[in-house]
Amino acid sequence: MTAILMALDSIKEKKGRSFLTMLGIIIGVCAVLVLVAMVTGYNSDITSYYEKLGVNKVEISIDYYLSSRSPDVTDELYEYGNVDMSDIVTGVTPDLSTTGTVIYKDDNLDTTIYLGSDQFSTCNNYTLAKGRDISQADIEGRTKVCLLGTYVAETLFGQKSPVGETVQINGASYTVVGTYYQKDGTAEDSMDDMVVIPYSLNREVLGSSVISSYIVKVDTSNDMDAAIEELTTWFADEIDEYTGEVTLENGNSDLTSSTEETASLSAILGGIAGIALLVGGIGIMNIMLVTVTERTREIGIKKAIGAPRSEIVTQFLVESAILSAMGGIIGILLGFALSLIMGKILYDLILFPSTAITIAGFLFSIAIGIGFGLYPAVKASGLQPVDALRAD
Amino acid sequence: MSLIKIENVFKIYGDEGCENEVRALDGVSLEIDYGEFVAIIGSSGSGKSTMMNMLGCLDVPTRGEYYLDGIPIRERTERELSDIRSRRIGFIFQGYNLIPSLTVWQNVALPMTYQKVNPGDRYQRAIEALEKVDIASKAENRPTQLSGGQQQRVAIARAIATKSPIIMADEPTGALDSKTGVQVLGILRQLNEEGTTIILITHDNGIAAQAKRVIRVQDGRIISDSAPGDDPFIMSQTKKEVASAVGDGTTPSGALRVENGRAAWAGARAGGLTQ
Ligand SMILES: Nc1ncnc2c1ncn2[C@@H]1O[C@H](COP(=O)(O)OP(=O)(O)OP(=O)(O)O)[C@@H](O)[C@H]1O
Ligand SMILES: [Mg+2]
């Protein structure tokens, strides 16, 4: 207790020097907190992007060697996915798109036209808001129906419900049968800037009957590998090596690799911040060595009148621990402020350093104070009283 | 078993055998018993402080053995040594050695914290000790605000407040006027009568005469060790000094020298010395 008061006294006595000593710790702790918060922000940004896009997708693309002799496996794949693999697969759709112009009365809009099955929305994480989804009857009958993303719906219809209205897509008339909920901010070029029509209209819309990309939506990420394996076997039977080459990709791997990237990035940044903390620690050791030299005489007197070594060690350790703890606290406050500001600017998120990192940063700064204060403290306590007394 | 026993102790500064060699202690042997009142006297640079620092466990001899309570100091652990410094010895330094960042009473109370004296009692005991040397009025001051003599009295208070069984005083009256010096000696003598072992350094024959035993040091060696009455240097001087301290101008007879030394002290006390 008295040791703490004494340490505070001596820190107060040389405010400027104490502050400069703390600066290393302040910067180190602050940097660690802000970096971790920013990486967290970046990760959640990326993750939410991929989640909006739809996770657990097996992306299949087929490179047919001869387009004229390419078989159409769409129906077989649909059936295989929905019957044979129904325990792990939740949807199958061709993955086709083009750009097109949608016209309603006097308004027109360039947007992305997707051609999908009745499971398009399941596969791509769209949720039906109004009306109905594409049906199997639409696909079989090549009915000219469409569903609108919120951006298209709002731009062309405003507050009015588009369901039942007729729009022109690339010159042909389509009946709007439904709309989706907003999932990406209802902005131009967002995931809400889109229209879906039955894939069976592909010959008319795309000018080709060949379907060479599919999405198979798997229930959980744990089943992804099993699904890919099963689909690979199935495709090997359907499309032999003379017909074409099938590529199956795990749609989660983009997310995984970008998460891995940020992990290694944060490791590097963390390392840099760690070096800042280390330098801060050396600063503390340096200043404590100076303090020991300055107070050699005081140490001599104390030892001469009976202070045990532990007393002297404690005195200096407490001082360096308080010094670094104060630095840690200031660093944490600064780190919170900076995280908030930068999170707002970079990701438009309210970002706080996590509690675990904050506590770890605080404890680490104290540990640095004790670790680097130990040498000067032990050095001070080991002086022969008479030698210490002779110092001036 | 005696309290203190040193055997053929050397303290050598510089490189032994070279030109810069200083033999501050040059083969000293000495025994001091429990309850003694010893004065160590010698000219400046004769090795008195060196010897005292060693006796006070503040320094270690280059060679030779030091037994305290019959146990060689070399065998003591660091912990035991600080315990000895804190509980066995009250040390009055030649250079006062007060801590400037602490107030006067805190300085006096500091050794008590190492003795684990109950915190509530420390202030009281510090003030009592300061009162004994008439400096309690400065209890809240910093040592730097005090005169040399006042600082010396604080240093004395710090040593006596420890209530240690041994007091080692290195020129405790060096910065004091003769009246205050006599008062301090009175305190030391009273402590001695209560059983405290006193070892006192001085270069003043008059003060040495107040002790029960006088050890004379020269060039790092003990050249005489006797009762003050038998010390060749004290004989002539003491008469005058004792007489002037009492202030009656009479010269005690040779046979009563030592007795008169005590009488002088008693008289001074009875007279109620003040600052
Ligand atoms: N640290 C040291 N290094 C070198 N020589 C020293 C050291 N300390 C003391 N000496 C020498 O040892 C000798 C004895 O010194 P000491 O301090 O014991 O003298 P003293 O009898 O106490 O003198 P004084 O009456 O002036 O206090 C002196 O010659 C001194 O120069
Ligand atoms: Mg001396």
Q: In this structure, are B183 and B264 located in the same domain? A: no
So what's the pLDDT on residue A135? 94
Q: In this structure, are A115 and A194 located in the same domain? A: yes
Per residue in B128-137, pLDDT (tens digit) is: 999 999 999 9
Q: In this structure, are B137 and B255 located in the same domain? A: no
Under a CB-based contact definition with an 8 Å cutoff, are residues A119 and A214 in contact?
A: no
Terminal CA-CA length for chain A: 28
Q: Are strands B22-32 and A96-104 parallel, antiparallel or unpaired?
A: unpaired
- Which residues numbered 271-310 in A keep a CB inside 8 Å of some CB on B? 297-298, 300-309
Residue of A154, A141, A138, A125 lying closest to A197 (CA atoms): A138
Indicate the Cα dihedral angle B14, B18, B24, B29, nearest 10°. Answer: 120
Residue B272, pLDDT > 60, answer: no
So what's the pLDDT on residue B206? 86
- Mean per-residue pLDDT, A55-66: 89
Q: In this structure, are B94 and B219 located in the same domain? A: yes
Last residue of a domain, one of A196, A218, A250: A250
A222 CA from centroid of ligand 1 (Å): 83
Q: In this structure, are A103 and A233 located in the same domain? A: yes
So what's the pLDDT on residue B109? 95
Q: Which domain holds residue B243?
A: 232-275
Q: In this structure, are B122 and B160 located in the same domain? A: yes
Which sign does the torsion angle of CA B200, B201, B207, B209 carry?
Answer: positive
Residues with CB under 6 A from ligand 1: B 13, 22, 24, 42, 44-50, 94, 203
Per residue in B209-261, pLDDT (tens digit) is: 889 999 999 999 999 999 888 887 776 555 555 555 554 444 343 333 344 44
So what's the pLDDT on residue A262? 80
Q: In this structure, are B216 and B242 located in the same domain? A: no
Closest Cβ–Cβ partner in B58, B99, B114 for A308: B114
Residue A29, pLDDT > 50, answer: yes
Residue nearest to atom 31 of ligand 1 (CA): B45
So what's the pLDDT on residue B126? 96
So what's the pLDDT on residue B244? 58
Tokens of A16: 């400027």
So what's the pLDDT on residue B256? 38
Q: In this structure, are A156 and A185 located in the same domain? A: yes
So what's the pLDDT on residue B203? 85
Q: In this structure, are A264 and A222 located in the same domain? A: no
Q: In this structure, are B84 and B148 located in the same domain? A: yes
Closest ligand to Cα B23: 1
Q: Do B58 and A386 touch (CB under 8 A)?
A: yes
Residue B93, pLDDT > 80, answer: yes
Number of domains in chain A: 2
CA distance B221 to B30: 11
CA distance B74 to B94: 25
Tokens of A153: 């719906």
Locate the chain B residue with the closest alpha carbon to A299.
Answer: B99
Residue A132, pLDDT > 60, answer: yes
CA distance B249 to B260: 13
Q: In this structure, are B91 and B172 located in the same domain? A: yes
Q: In this structure, are A300 and A349 located in the same domain? A: yes
The predicted complex's ipTM stands at 0.83
- Mean per-residue pLDDT, A61-65: 88
Which residue among B12, B18, B50 is best mutated to probe the pocket of ligand 1, counting the most ligand atoms within 8 A of its Cβ?
B50
Q: In this structure, are A61 and A98 located in the same domain? A: yes
Q: In this structure, are A61 and A163 located in the same domain? A: yes
Closest ligand to Cα B20: 1
- Which residues numbered 155-184 in B keep a CB inside 8 Å of some CB on A? 158, 162
Q: Do B110 and A304 touch (CB under 8 A)?
A: no
Tokens of A48: 């939410």
Q: What are the strands, taking DSSP E only, across A233-310?
A: 244-250
So what's the pLDDT on residue B258? 40
Residue A70, pLDDT > 80, answer: no
Last residue of a domain, one of A250, A284, A308: A250
So what's the pLDDT on residue B235? 64
Q: Is A58 strand, coil or helix?
A: strand
Residue A392, classified by CB atoms within 10 Å of its CB into exposed (0-12), middle (13-18) or buried (19+), is: exposed
Q: In this structure, are B245 and B221 located in the same domain? A: no
B77 CA from centroid of ligand 1 (Å): 27
Q: Which residue has the higher pLDDT, A179 or A273?
A: A179
Closest Cβ–Cβ partner in A300, A306, A384 for B86: A306
Q: Which domain holds residue A262?
A: 2-50+257-390
Locate the chain A residue with the closest alpha carbon to B96.
Answer: A301
So what's the pLDDT on residue B118? 92
Per residue in A317-344, pLDDT (tens digit) is: 898 889 889 999 999 999 999 999 988 8
Per residue in B148-177, pLDDT (tens digit) is: 899 999 999 999 999 999 999 999 988 888
Q: Read off the pLDDT band of A46 (50, 70, 90).
A: confident
Mean pLDDT is lowest, of A79-88, A186-195, A248-257, for A248-257
Q: In this structure, are A121 and A229 located in the same domain? A: yes
Q: Read off the pLDDT band of B274 (50, 70, 90).
A: very low
Smallest Cα distance from B225 to chain A, Å = 26
User: Can you give the CATH number for the domain in which B126 is found?
Assistant: 3.40.50.300
Q: In this structure, are B160 and B241 located in the same domain? A: no
Give chain B's mean pLDDT: 85
B5 touches A at CB < 8 Å: no
Residue A20, pLDDT > 50, answer: yes
Task: Please state, as a whole number, how many other Cβ atoms lie within 10 Å of the Cβ of residue B198.
Answer: 24
Locate the chain B residue with the closest alpha carbon to A387.
Answer: B59
Last residue of a domain, one of A199, A227, A250: A250
Q: Read off the pLDDT band of A371 (50, 70, 90).
A: confident
Per residue in A165-181, pLDDT (tens digit) is: 999 999 999 999 999 99
Per residue in B17-50, pLDDT (tens digit) is: 888 899 999 999 999 999 999 999 999 999 999 9
B51 CA from centroid of ligand 2 (Å): 9
Residue-by-residue DSSP string for A151-206 = HHHHHHHTTS--TT-EEEETTEEEEEEEEEPP-S-S-TTSTTSEEEEEGGGHHHHH
**The whole model's pTM is what?**
0.67
Smallest Cα distance from A39 to chain B, Å = 48
- Mean per-residue pLDDT, B80-96: 93
Q: Which residue has the higher pLDDT, B43 or A269?
A: B43
Burial B232-260 (b: 16+ CB within 10 A, else e): eebeeebbebbbebbeeeeebeeeebbeb
What residue type is A60 in one-letter code? I
Mean pLDDT is lowest, of A276-280, B38-42, B97-101, for A276-280
Under a CB-based contact definition with an 8 Å cutoff, are residues B246 and B266 in contact?
A: no
Q: In this structure, are A227 and A108 located in the same domain? A: yes
- Residue contacts between A and B (CB atoms, under 8 Å): 65
Q: In this structure, are B128 and B169 located in the same domain? A: yes
Q: Do B111 and A305 touch (CB under 8 A)?
A: yes
Locate the chain B residue with the closest alpha carbon to A13.
Answer: B101
So what's the pLDDT on residue A284? 81
Tokens of B142: 């910093």
Q: In this structure, are A128 and A167 located in the same domain? A: yes
Chain A environment of B58 (Cβ under 8 Å) = 304, 384-386, 389
So what's the pLDDT on residue A196? 96
Q: In this structure, are A152 and A74 located in the same domain? A: yes
Under a CB-based contact definition with an 8 Å cutoff, are residues A176 and A164 in contact?
A: yes
Chain B environment of A301 (Cβ under 8 Å) = 97-99
CA distance B233 to B100: 39
Q: How long a stretch of residues is chain B?
A: 275
CA distance A247 to A116: 20
Instruction: Give percent helix, percent strand, percent coil of chain B, each to the nearest 5.
Output: 45, 25, 35
- Which residues numbered 31-50 in B keep a CB inside 8 Å of some CB on A? none
Chosen for mutation from A1, A291, A305 (greatest number of chain B CBs closer than 10 Å) is A305
- Which residues numbered 99-118 in B keep a CB inside 8 Å of some CB on A? 99, 101, 110-111, 113-115
Per residue in A208-259, pLDDT (tens digit) is: 888 989 999 999 888 999 999 999 999 998 888 888 889 999 988 877 788 7
So what's the pLDDT on residue A66? 77
Residue of A284, A285, A270 lying closest to A26 (CA atoms): A284
Q: In this structure, are B59 and B120 located in the same domain? A: yes
Number of domains in chain B: 2
Smallest Cα distance from A304 to chain B, Å = 6
Mean pLDDT is lowest, of A65-74, A129-138, A332-341, B78-87, for A65-74
Residue nearest to atom 14 of ligand 1 (CA): B47
So what's the pLDDT on residue B261? 41
Under a CB-based contact definition with an 8 Å cutoff, are residues B52 and B80 in contact?
A: no
Q: In this structure, are A235 and A346 located in the same domain? A: no
Q: Do B91 and A300 touch (CB under 8 A)?
A: no
Closest Cβ–Cβ partner in B59, B78, B115 for A306: B115
